Amino acid sequence: MAGELTTTEKNTAGRLKSRPQFLAVRNGEKRKGGLFLLEVFDRKEPETGARVGFTVTKKHGNAVERNRMRRRLKEAVRLHVGFAMQPGHDYVVVARRDCLTASFKELSAALKARVENKPKHRRSSDGRPRNV
């Protein structure tokens, strides 16, 4: 009975920690935005939870600024986006400089929109022109 009271449903995403995990996600879909780039990779394992990783390159400032960008993105995922991530998918958020100056509300909304955004239908590569 006590176990029933303490069990809660976990809706947070796991973490990507090793370089090979990050490199595998680069082969997936890329969803571009003004504040960040979101890379999504389907691991084809729907029974496992979603995992997320964060990247901030050195060209976006010193260590203090890069860590601030990373902390803001982590908190946005924890509060607003973790539930929207699909099980069996890996997500990598590559920060851009503008995510440092954007309001937290704007950052959270943009991240949520990118995660929920479905991939667009791609044109077939049979060489036909579009207007035929």
What is the pLDDT at residue 124? Answer: 57
pLDDT confidence band for 131 (50 / 70 / 90) = low
Specify the CATH number for 14-116; select among 3.40.50.300, 1.25.40.10, 3.40.190.10, 3.30.230.10: 3.30.230.10
What pTM did the predictor assign?
A: 0.78
pLDDT in tens, 5-51: 444 445 567 899 999 999 999 999 999 988 999 999 999 988 888 99
- The CA R_g of the chain, rounded to the nearest whole Å, is 17
The answer to whether the beta carbons of residues 36 and 67 sit under 8 Å apart is no
Q: Which residues pair with 38 in a beta bridge?
A: 31, 93
Rounded Cα distance, 116 and 121, in Å: 15
pLDDT digits (tens, 9 = 90+) for 67-116: 999 999 999 999 988 888 889 999 999 999 999 999 999 999 999 999 88
Q: Domain segments of the chain: what residues?
A: 14-116
Closest CA to 110 of 30, 31, 18: 31
Q: Which residues fall within 8 angstroms of residue 126, CB to CB, at 6 or more apart?
A: none
